[in-house]
Structure 1
Amino acid sequence: MIPADDPVRLLSAFVEGMDLSELYATYDRVRKNRATSRQMLKIMIYASMNRLFSSRDIETACRRDINFMFLLEGMPAPDHSTIARFISLHLSACSKTLLSDMTSILHDLGEISGKTLFIDGTKIESCANKYTFVWKKSVTKHQARLFEKILSFIEECETLYGIKVVYNGKATLHTMKRLRKKL
């Protein structure tokens, strides 16, 4: 029923290959006749791929959509409270690690280059607001302004607190800790 080259099969194989030990560690016990945490992660990622973010919408999709049923592997569809509980208690506790693992796997496979990296929460043609673009020139300009602000802040801290923060063009961890104590 589901074609061999369907994205849902790729997602399933991708998650099967991941190390989810940190996700499993968030559980104190495992209940029978329920979707496993691996299956829940699969449906959460697939729901995000299809722009389903509400737990009630995901529940409906698990009951009606054949792709979600494939990811659940014959288990009954979780209700909306189970989905919300999974997100708040289990997925949120290890989401950064899971996303970094996914990113490194995609980088190793050559699907993403890593040539340009944004770590400040910048949206680039996201689903949240697809009409917001980030241009390289504006990022470079804002980065230069940010460095100017940081330099002026460091100079101000050096004059106010009498601590030399930068030695030979580098700020050491020890001086930063001393400055933090004074602040």
Structure 2
Amino acid sequence: MLLNQNTNDNYTARQLKLPLEIEKLIDVSDPVYTFCEVMDHIDLSRYFVEKGYKTGRPRCDEQKLLKVILFAFMEKGICSLREIERLCRNDIRYMYLLDEMKAPTFATFGNLIRNELTDSIEQIFMDINAYIFSKDHVDFGPMSRKSTN
């Protein structure tokens, strides 16, 4: 005879359907994987201002934030910081880039761009493109010549 009924009604059947790893939800051919592969080979620390103080609450991971901004720049072109915030909350690929970090606000992205970066986002993006072109041995010679027809 069962004396106590230990049942919990605070669940839905839907909760058990989601995989625990975000990677299982993203297609293998998605550009986010290529982006991460390239970003893993680039030293992003040179783009940040060095701070001499360590006071206050823990800061957001600057490199993750920069990766999110650059991925949005790659996918959408120049977009608003509020749109990047929305993407971080709703798009699984941006959640993957944040690596279990809480979705930052638009103000966090703005503070990073204004106060923490030594170069503009456009310049950093051009440096990354230069790295990709050098690794893939892209020759700009034929593209830069004018045709004389």
Q: What is the TM-score normalised by the length of structure 2?
A: 0.65
Secondary structure at the counterpart of residue 67 of structure 1 = helix
Counterpart Cα distance in 1 of 2:74 and 2:109? 16
Give the stretch that moved more between structures: 93-102 or 44-53: 93-102
Matched residue, 1:83: 109
- Distance change >3 Å, CA 104–CA 48, structure 1 → 2: closer
Match of 1:58 among 81, 84, 94: 84
Matched residue, 2:34: 10
Stretches of 4+ moved more than 6 A in 1?
none
Could you say which structure has the larger radius of gyration?
1
Matched residue, 1:46: 71
After TM superposition, the structure 1 = structure 2 runs for residues 24-173 of structure 1, keeping only pairs within 5 Å, are 24-28=48-52, 32=58, 34=60, 36-51=61-76, 53-91=79-117, 93-95=118-120, 98-99=124-125, 101-110=127-136, 112-115=138-141, 116=143, 136=146
Percent of paired sites with the same residue = 27
Q: Which has the higher contact order (CA 8 A, sep 6+)?
A: 2
Q: What is the TM-score normalised by the length of structure 1?
A: 0.54
- Alignment gaps of 5+ in structure 1: 118-135, 138-183
- Alignment gaps of 5+ in structure 2: 1-24
Question: How many corresponding residue pairs?
Answer: 119
Secondary structure at the counterpart of residue 53 of structure 1 = coil
CA RMSD of aligned residues (A): 2.8
- Distance change >3 Å, CA 100–CA 61, structure 1 → 2: closer
Counterpart Cα distance in 2 of 1:100 and 1:49? 11
Q: Does the CA contact (< 8 Å) of 1:15 and 1:38 recur in 2?
A: no
Counterpart Cα distance in 2 of 1:90 and 1:33? 12
